[in-house]
Structure 1
Amino acid sequence: MSALELEGVFAGALQGATLAIPAGLTVVLATPADGGSDLPLVSGGLLVPRRGTVRIGGLDPARSPEVRARLGLVLAEESPFAAPSLLEAVRQMLALRGQASDPRVLLDRHGLGAVSGVSPEKAGAQARRHLAWALALELVEPHALVVHEPLSLGPLASRERTRTELLARAESGVPVLVVTASPRDASELGGSLVLLDRGRFVRRPGPPLATELVPGANATLWLHTPAARALAGALVGDPAVASLEWDQGEIRVRGADVDSLSLAVLRHARALNTPLSSIGMALPALEEVRAATAGLWRAAYDAAFRTATAQAREREEALARQRAASAPPPPPSTEGGSGT
């Protein structure tokens, strides 16, 4: 399949964005202000960069109708089709593609059969995005699939089915690019994660995301138990627990080491003979991720500045020693003369 490549792209909120999306699933964590909603537009050839290049299989999608015809694209906002109904919109799109699929079957398969007679404008923004997703999945041998917030396609879409469909395309060798502002959705989708911050791709956190999204921060475990009060009381004094919140049947505990924290929870639950209904690691909010990214950049800048300053000082000292070594000796002193 064709790779999707961005090189130094300036467009909308994107500020020199460079990224290569190979076959498989790539998830970009970004807000619209970071360029998250502009990324699908640029990838689909609908927003021409002020500077930089976009290539799918070596071709610019903005200048290649053939590439755009085989690109599955779901935007942050989908404009209404110029058709009297969703059914007719699908019929027209399939005809343009030369596909003989039954539009009613397509709509039913994707949970849109109940609104097939509604006009695209009246169907609403979520239904139009859901329809764009359904049409993207019907492409035969797509060059790539680019989807904004696939797990937020509306009440008629199944999160689990959408995730399964995305992974199936990725596993078949299609480059799949997903953009989401939700750390939870990014974790649920899996794939290779990239952070887009203020228009630039800045880092690739690895698993587990609960700790790697905000390096160095305390880990947070959430757990549910029918004896939350007793377990919370036991955990308060444990050295592995830095802080604790308790609300009804849910407890949230934080600590520097996730393994020590988990063992503390299990140890106290066993001592109290308290069953745990569920337990998991909490993901940081996107604001925390952005703050951590800014901190990492500042730390890298400070380290580079200190290194450069030390190297400059060493060079100056070395030059001073060289000048001192190569300087001619001072003339002999003539002061005092000779006595008689």
Structure 2
Amino acid sequence: MTAPTTAPPPGPASTAMVEVEACSRWFGDVVAVSEVSFTLQAGVTALLGPNGAGKSTLLRLLCGLVAPARGTVRVLGRDPRRDIEVHRDLGLVPQQETVFDRLTALELVETCALLRGVADPRDAAAAALAAVELDPGDRRHLPTYSRGMRQRVKVAQAIVHDPAVLVLDEPLTGLDPRQRRHMTDLFHHLGDRGRCVVVSSHVLEEVERFGSDVLVIVQGRLAAEGDYRAIRDLMDDRPHRIRIRTDRPHEVAGRLLAAGTVLGLEVTGPDAVVVETDRVHDLRRTVAVVARDAEAHLWEVAPLDDDLDSVFRYLVGR
């Protein structure tokens, strides 16, 4: 899989490529984004939030399609609303879909390449379509394409000029499972090549495939950012639930209670105990000693709520 290479690579990975500082945007009485701040470097970052949380507005702010009411947005050190040149290094896959009735996929992507000043727009368009597994020689007009094919055309036009920053709003909508896997691999390929890739989604399974770097937006505010496993570790007011599988669950449960490392527990089967604790590291040390003293075989110690689904439900419900 090869993405087009028409633009020079961006700067070092340690350099902030996207900077948002105290950014707010409202429409009438509706606050879409409120006091959001973050910085992004090269790699893939997932923007996660329920429908209506403000994800699309935030992405539009990054692309200069709307101006912040307060705060600042910088892409590659420039204001995307005022500096039109930054759009040569910026690619957008919008959530909305509009196709040109009389154009083929190649003609549309070639036109986008031409508008962005690509030296050889026809070859770049063919390469971009191939990168999303579409045939550049297909002479059908765009309205005859399936929804998933049109979605891939949108991705092709966004990468045709090899932008340093790629913004994708729900890009996997309409794709089948194999295409989703391919597209996710493409995003990671671009991130590994030093591009800053921002992907929005409200589907938890998709976000987990994009990677662990997550921005969680809830009701227009940034609820959390970073590795979602680290986010879970910072939820000190919510006990962790851990399943322990052993051949002597009652003996292990009793000894864990006596050790004082759990807040509560339940024997859930002939070989399983589920415990709640706010002392995860102490529990992991203690459970091995407890199993030894109980002459029990210890088969599994596994978290039940360290996944993205648990983190997301917690943040939305706070």
Q: Determine the structure 2 residue equivalent to 1:219.
A: 241
Q: Which moved more, 1:199-208 or 1:85-94?
A: 199-208
* Counterpart position of 2:22: 8
Q: Given the superposition, is the C-alpha separation of residues 181 and 147 from structure 1 closer, same or farther in structure 2, using an over 3 Å criterion? A: same
* Equivalence for 1:68: 87
CA distance in 2 between counterparts of 1:237 and 1:115 reads 68
1:124 and 1:76 mapped to 2: Cα distance? 16
SS in 2 for 1:208: helix
Q: 1:167 to 1:173 in 2, by over 3 A?
A: same
Closer, same or farther: CA 18–210 of 1 in aligned 2, 3 Å: closer
CA separation in 2, counterparts of 1:153 and 1:237?
Answer: 51
The structure with more helix, counted as a fraction of residues: 1
Cross-structure match for 1:39: 58
Contact (CA 8 Å) 1:183, 1:283: kept in 2 or not?
no
Over 3 Å counting, the alpha-carbon distance change for 1:116 and 1:236 in structure 2 is farther
- Where do residues 68-107 of structure 1 align in structure 2 (5 Å cutoff)? 68-81=87-100, 83-97=102-116, 98-100=118-120, 101-102=122-123, 103-104=125-126, 106-107=128-129
Task: Quote the RMSD (CA, aligned, Å).
Answer: 4.2
Whether the 8 Å CA contact 1:81–1:120 is kept in 2: the answer is yes
Alignment CA distance shift 1:119-1:156 (3 Å) = farther
Q: Distance in 2 between matches of 1:280 and 1:153?
A: 33
The alignment's TM-score, normalised by the length of structure 2, stands at 0.66
Contact 1:67/1:143, CA 8 A, preserved across alignment: no
Alpha-carbon distance between aligned partners in 1 of 2:41 and 2:59, rounded to the nearest angstrom: 16
For 2:53 and 2:248, the matched residues in 1 are separated by 43
- Supply the distance in 2 between the matched residues of 1:28 and 1:115 (Cα, whole angstroms): 34
Deviations 1:76-116 (A, max 9, x none): 22322464322321222223233424344543442222994
- Structure 2 CA distance for aligned equivalents of residues 44 and 62 of structure 1: 7
Write the deviation string for residues 6-28 of structure 1: whole angstroms up to 9, x where unpaired.
22222351122222212333222
List gaps (5 residues or longer) in structure 2: 1-9, 11-15, 27-31, 257-264
SS in 2 for 1:158: helix
Spell out the pairing of 1:15-26 with structure 2 (5 A cutoff): 15-26=34-45
Determine the structure 2 residue equivalent to 1:289.
312
Q: Decide whether aligned partners of structure 1 residues 244 and 185 sit closer, same or farther in structure 2, where only a CA change above 3 A counts.
A: farther
- Supply the distance in 2 between the matched residues of 1:243 and 1:115 (Cα, whole angstroms): 62
In the other structure, the counterpart of 2:142 is: 120
C-alpha deviations, 1:28-82, integer Å up to 9, x for none? Answer: 2212311112222221112222333221123221223321232121222232246
**Do 1:107 and 1:116's aligned partners in 2 also have CA atoms closer than 8 Å?**
no
Within 1, Cα distance between the matches of 2:151 and 2:242?
34
Q: Distance in 1 between matches of 2:177 and 2:224?
A: 34
1:144, CA displacement in angstroms? Answer: 0.9
Of 100-109 and 89-98, more deviation after overlay is shown by 100-109
Judge conservation of contact 2:45–2:210 (CA < 8 Å) in 1.
no
- TM-score, normalised to structure 1, is 0.63
Return the offset for 1:198.
1.4
After superposition, what is the alpha-carbon deviation per residue over 1:234-284, rounded to whole angstroms, capped at 9, x for unaligned? 979973863759xxxxx9985426876x98xxx9xx97xx9x9xx996665
* Structure 1 CA distance for aligned equivalents of residues 274 and 224 of structure 2: 25
Whole-angstrom distance in 2 between the partners of 1:150 and 1:237: 51
Give the paired residue count: 275
1:111 maps to 133
Structure number with larger C-alpha Rg = 1
Equivalent residue letter for 2:149: A
Match of 2:195 among 174, 188, 204: 174
SS in 2 for 1:34: coil
Local SS of the residue matching 2:81:
helix
- Select the structure that is richer in strand: 2
Task: Map 1:1-340 onto structure 2 (within 5 A).
Answer: 1=10, 3-11=17-25, 13-81=32-100, 83-97=102-116, 98-100=118-120, 101-102=122-123, 103-104=125-126, 106-113=128-135, 116-123=138-145, 125-140=147-162, 142-152=163-173, 154-155=175-176, 158-204=179-225, 206=227, 208=229, 211-212=232-233, 216-219=238-241, 239=253, 242=266, 254-256=274-276, 289-292=312-315, 295=318
Q: Could you tell me the percent identity over the aligned residues?
A: 22
